[in-house]
Amino acid sequence: MAQENPALTGVEVAKHNSQKDCWVIVHGRAYDVTGFLPEHPGGMTIILKYAGKDATEEFDPIHPPDTLEKYLDKSKHLGLVDMTTVVKEKELESPEERERQKRILEMPLLEQCYNLMDFEAVARRVMKKGAWGYYSSAADDEITMRENHGAFHRIWFRPKILVDVEKVDFSTAMLGAKVDIPFYVTATALGKLGHVEGEVVLTRAAHKHNVIQMIPTLASCSFDEIVDAAGPGQVQWLQLYVNKDRAITQRIVEHAEKRGCKGLFITVDAPQLGRREKDMRSKFTDPGSNVQSGQTTDNSQGAARAISSFIDPALSWADIPWFQSITKMPIVLKGVQRVEDVLKAVELGVQGVVLSNHGGRQLDFARSGVEILAETMPVLRELGLQDKIEVYIDGGARRATDIIKALCLGAKGVGIGRPFLYAMSAYGLDGVNRAMQLLKDEMEMNMRLIGATRIDELSPSLLDVRSLFNHGTTPANSLAYSVYDPLVTPGQRTG
Ligand SMILES: Cc1cc2c(cc1C)[n+](S(=O)(=O)[O-])c1c(=O)[nH]c(=O)nc-1n2C[C@H](O)[C@H](O)[C@H](O)COP(=O)(O)O
């Protein structure tokens, strides 16, 4: 193909920098987005911040690569820009960004991360505010997010002794697929907020450790990029937000099945995305730029709200037979939060459920996945239904002991979200690989210490769950309530 010469310079593009005349550069090409501004789900402010400039770095994590091709009229595609003439945003970087770059230079070596929480501590210090805000945020007072982790601490072990535990095998199967260890990488949106390559980094690590990756509907990478990045025989599932336009949903599901996905995880706890205030705050643009220009600062659109307007709040049990008619993939409901709904899922012939509250990002004061599991499994056993449906949990799992507790209670596997995002954001693929290896090492040690050599030996008799159902919440004035402090930014620990 003939070499295309840049038609435009950075100086030319920079002249079109207002609400009435707005050009942006994405991947070296200029686009006239003036007419699109009022329709942008994320509001106008975030685009106007890059009017006349290179918006690639802000654009990439939030939008699949083919977004402009698909949704911006060709007449608005203005052609190549000579990028040597574009003033790099970097050169104008803020004192906050310079401070962050300094913290990156001081961060610990990867080998100094000994558990999954270490990755969170590093990510908090080195991630950009918006990215940290999106990944770390949860709904309202973030009580449920803390409860997810805290609930595991109300479960104690009753280990066996004098068991020959020389050989330990913690491999298992999920929806019929063999995996090396009973956790999977759960769906978490916008992978490129944390790493320039996005979700494909998680794909590579999942392949190396033979664990399953759940591909998010709201991934930064396109679905095909993530599937193409999979290794031979690698098992992937699709997480689905159901679109108001069912024809779009059907196309997505059929394409996923054609590309070899081995499970359809329908997210059922998000008829509307939760109100995540850290995410909203981090979208707060510099008050001067908006207030002076007379615009009201639009921080109502955290990233979550901005990207989820297509989700159908009318999704109901009546839709399940339709899903069963359009795909042969096993169907799993992700975000089930009470045993009555598990029984309904069994009745409808659904293959699995994930007992989950979306990492605390939806309904605050929802119970933890592990507590719902402890409510559910005895009822399924009593009714002889425990083999009729695969039960997974996610939320707050940070140690192999959390995974073992869930399996003792009857879970098939545990989804893990934020830890792998933090490991990726701080250390890239090496970080995710180390996080997964740490879990494997912990798993081997803890299986030995509780006197179990295989997954099928994990049973409720190894646990004491008497305090699990007694909720305590962190006192309101505790530092854990960082959600209240708008001044707490990554790296600034108050007190
Ligand atoms: C951390 C995180 C979680 C998200 C997530 C994004 C992030 C950054 N997103 S969200 O943007 O809509 O909220 C999704 C998502 O795309 N779809 C989904 O089903 N769950 C989503 N979840 C929930 C996730 O699948 C797990 O339920 C949750 O992360 C498990 O808790 P931990 O993070 O504590 O492991």
For every residue of 86-149, DSSP letters joined together read SPPGGGG--HHHHHHHHHHHTPPPGGG--SHHHHHHHHHHHS-HHHHHHHH--BTT-HHHHHHH
Nearest CA to ligand 1 atom 9: 188
Q: For strands 21-26 and 17-18, give the pairing.
A: antiparallel
Tokens of 26: 């994405």
Q: For strands 463-464 and 156-157, give the pairing.
A: antiparallel
Estimate to the nearest angstrom the gap between the alpha carbon of 336 and the chain centroid.
17
334 Cβ neighbours under 8 A, 6+ residues apart: 187, 239, 265, 266, 267, 268, 269, 353, 354, 356
> Nearest-5° angle of CA 392, CA 396, CA 402?
70
Mean pLDDT by 10 residues, the chain (495 residues): 72 88 93 90 84 89 84 91 77 77 89 95 92 93 95 97 98 97 97 94 98 96 96 97 95 98 98 85 45 37 66 96 98 98 98 98 97 98 98 98 98 98 96 98 98 98 97 59 46 44
Out of 145, 186, 267, 353, mutate this one to test ligand 1's pocket (max ligand atoms within 8 Å of CB): namely 186
Distance 451 CA to ligand 1 centre (A): 33
The answer to whether the predicted template modeling score (pTM) of the entire model surpasses 0.90 is: no
Nearest CA to ligand 1 atom 27: 358
| d(C-alpha 344, C-alpha 291), whole Å | 51
Q: For strands 17-18 and 390-394, give the pairing.
A: unpaired
> For residues 85 and 63, is the Cβ–Cβ distance under 8 A?
no
- Residues with catalytic function: 241, 269, 358
Among 321, 390, 331, 379, smallest CA distance to 174 is for: 390
Distance 162 CA to ligand 1 centre (A): 41
Query: CA–CA distance from 436 to each of 95, 104, 364, 396 (Å)?
Result: 35, 23, 29, 16
What is the per-residue pLDDT for 96?
Answer: 83
Q: Tell me the Ramachandran region of residue 35: left when phi exceeds 0, alpha when psi lies from -120 to 50, beta otherwise.
A: alpha
80 Cβ neighbours under 8 A, 6+ residues apart: 4, 5, 6, 7, 8, 28, 29, 30
Output the ligand 1 site: residues, CB below 6 A.
Answer: 134-135, 148, 186-189, 216, 218, 239, 267, 273, 304, 334, 356, 358-359, 361, 394-397, 415-418
Longest CA–CA span in the chain (Å) reads 77
Note whether ipTM > 0.95 here.
yes
Other beta carbons within 10 angstroms of residue 104's beta carbon come to: 12
| d(C-alpha 352, C-alpha 342), whole Å | 9
| d(C-alpha 31, C-alpha 55), whole Å | 10
Distance 279 CA to ligand 1 centre (A): 13
What is the per-residue pLDDT for 285?
Answer: 40
> For residues 482 and 488, is the Cβ–Cβ distance under 8 A?
yes
Mutual orientation of helices 369-382 and 400-409 as an angle, nearest 10°? 20
Among 201, 115, 149, 209, smallest CA distance to 393 is for: 149
Distance 127 CA to ligand 1 centre (A): 18
Among 328, 326, 362, smallest CA distance to 248 is for: 326
| d(C-alpha 124, C-alpha 122), whole Å | 5
| d(C-alpha 436, C-alpha 181), whole Å | 9
* Number of helices (H), then strands (E), in the chain: 19, 17
| d(C-alpha 278, C-alpha 459), whole Å | 39
Nearest CA to ligand 1 atom 6: 188
Nearest CA to ligand 1 atom 19: 267
What is the per-residue pLDDT for 42?
Answer: 77
Query: CA–CA distance from 53 to each of 23, 30, 201, 404, 409 (Å)?
Result: 8, 9, 29, 51, 54
Distance 311 CA to ligand 1 centre (A): 15
| d(C-alpha 379, C-alpha 384), whole Å | 9
DSSP 184: E
Other beta carbons within 10 angstroms of residue 54's beta carbon come to: 23
